Structure 1
Amino acid sequence: MSNDISDDPWAQRVYLTWLARDTRYALTALTALTAYAQNTPVPPAAWVCFEDFLSFLGKVSRTLWPAPGKGPNGTDKGLEWRTKRGPFLRKILEVEDSSPLKAREVRNGSEHFDERLDEWIVSLPRPTVEEWQADTKPTFPAPPMRLINVEAGTIQVAGADLDLRFMAEELQRLLTKIEDLEPSAAALPTDMAALLATLPRVPIIPFDAPAEDPGGIQAWLDEQNSTDPGTATGDTEA
């Protein structure tokens, strides 16, 4: 195994095909989300697409900007490659740090929405009947809503906005670049390309390669071809 991703075509193929897979799924979920969001009221299915979109967008982002540290089952070698993986992929795919793919505010806001509900609940005043009657009730903070703005083309989670049109353009640009570098990602179905890319590379064994018989595989084949068929099967002449 090479010590650098740039010298390992198989590793590059694995990374690019899986990144293409997650990018396509993010685009598919985003397209469905946009279609559902045209309805009034927005149907529950839109929020399923919303969560799917953020999930696959997170996978794309973490592939390009890996999380630090080894993780519970990590190794030093794996961490070394993870450290190299992000810069290498961003370079060949021409992804800048200013890319919307790196923005995590909306994703974090959605993944940790329960924590924001906790903070809202504990900060919400509990006015008494006397306060209501005296019209001295306190100001209530706005809940941490998740909103879809179809006209503006944005989604908002706990005050953080994500421009869906800009995101769609960047995801499509990324996918096109991946397919230019790794044609199999475009020629094959999404999951099949990713699966085939991860199969171990098996070296092609030439017929004259050495085997247990010093004569090699070719010598064994020659021996089989030169053997009398009747003798090989145990037959005798009548």
Structure 2
Amino acid sequence: MKQKDDFSIWPPYQFFYIESMLARTEAALISAGWIDDFHNRMESGMWKIDQYEVLNHVQNIVHQAGALSRYFWPSKKYEGRGVELRRVFSVDETSPLKSRDVRNQAEHFDEKIDEYIKGHIAGNFFPSYVGPKPPNHGAPMLFFRAYYVDKRALEILGKQIELPALVKEIMRIHLLLAKSMDSGCVFPSEAGNTDFEEEES
């Protein structure tokens, strides 16, 4: 049996991973574009906030990031594949995709709700919120889902996830995947170009 560091995905099979991950990055970036448009319109006073639509797009970005993360950090049984994909797509331990808070959005979320409410938390509860992060005065404000527009951060079940770095990493991987598709549906190293960084503007 091959050791994890010797794991290799045969080039004819690489498109399975490329296509699967590309579906995740595309879905996340569609929502990221929507959120950018929301911010632009909000700043110009042209947007009536639909909290649920905003929160659904923000949560979708994090959910897709969590699903993408599993390709790079799978369960122990498939660790070799994770090592291979991290090498090919230059994903290291500092990647925001590795965040456990991000992973938890795609794994066992129902159980996270159970654990949260078992903590006997107290305060003023709100199902949803979109706006600047409220100041800490008096009884704590507790949100199931909140998007802080001043920080571009999602808070859900008491965990805060900042979007800019996450979206940047998703975009970087998306560009690699798209170029891999254009290079015969093979990984960057197999395509003869290992430097698929985003071009400087």
TM-score by length of 1: 0.55
When Rg is computed on C-alpha atoms for both structures, the one with the higher figure is 1
The structure in which a higher percent of residues are helix is: 1
What residue number does 2:63 align with? 55
Q: Distance in 2 between matches of 1:177 and 1:109?
A: 24
Following superposition of structure 1 onto structure 2, how do residues 79-94 of structure 1 map, counting pairs within 5 Å? Answer: 79=77, 82-94=78-90
Contact kept in structure 2, 1:26 and 1:53, CA below 8 Å: yes
Aligned to 2:142, the other structure's residue is in SS state coil
- Higher RCO structure, 1 or 2 (CA under 8 Å, sep 6+): 2
Following superposition of structure 1 onto structure 2, how do residues 72-83 of structure 1 map, counting pairs within 5 Å? Answer: 79=77, 82-83=78-79
Q: Which runs of 5+ in 1 are unaligned?
A: 69-78, 126-138, 187-238
What residue number does 2:194 align with? none
Residue identity (%):
21
Following superposition of structure 1 onto structure 2, how do residues 119-198 of structure 1 map, counting pairs within 5 Å? Answer: 119=118, 122-124=120-122, 142-183=141-182
Query: Does the C-alpha gap of structure 1 residues 18 and 169 become closer, same or farther in structure 2, counting only changes over 3 Å?
Result: same
From 87, 92, 95, the equivalent of 2:91 is 95
Following superposition of structure 1 onto structure 2, how do residues 6-85 of structure 1 map, counting pairs within 5 Å? Answer: 6=8, 8-36=10-38, 38=42, 39=47, 41-68=49-76, 79=77, 82-85=78-81
Cα distance, 1:143 vs structure 2: 2.7
Aligned to 1:60, the other structure's residue is in SS state helix
Cα distance, 1:154 vs structure 2: 1.6
Q: Distance in 1 between matches of 2:37 and 2:103?
A: 21
Q: Aligned Cα RMSD in Å? A: 3.2
Paired residue type of 2:32: L
Alignment: residue pair count: 159
Query: Does the C-alpha gap of structure 1 residues 184 and 48 become closer, same or farther in structure 2, counting only changes over 3 Å?
Result: farther
Residue range with higher mean Cα deviation, 3-12 or 142-151? 3-12
Aligned to 2:8, the other structure's residue is in SS state helix
Paired residue type of 1:183: D
Aligned to 1:26, the other structure's residue is in SS state helix
Cα distance, 1:163 vs structure 2: 2.1
Q: Which runs of 5+ in 2 are unaligned?
A: 124-137, 186-201
Cα distance, 1:145 vs structure 2: 3.9
Aligned to 1:143, the other structure's residue is in SS state strand
Contact kept in structure 1, 2:146 and 2:155, CA below 8 Å: yes
The structure in which a higher percent of residues are strand is: 2
Contact kept in structure 1, 2:66 and 2:105, CA below 8 Å: no
Q: Distance in 1 between matches of 2:70 and 2:48?
A: 34
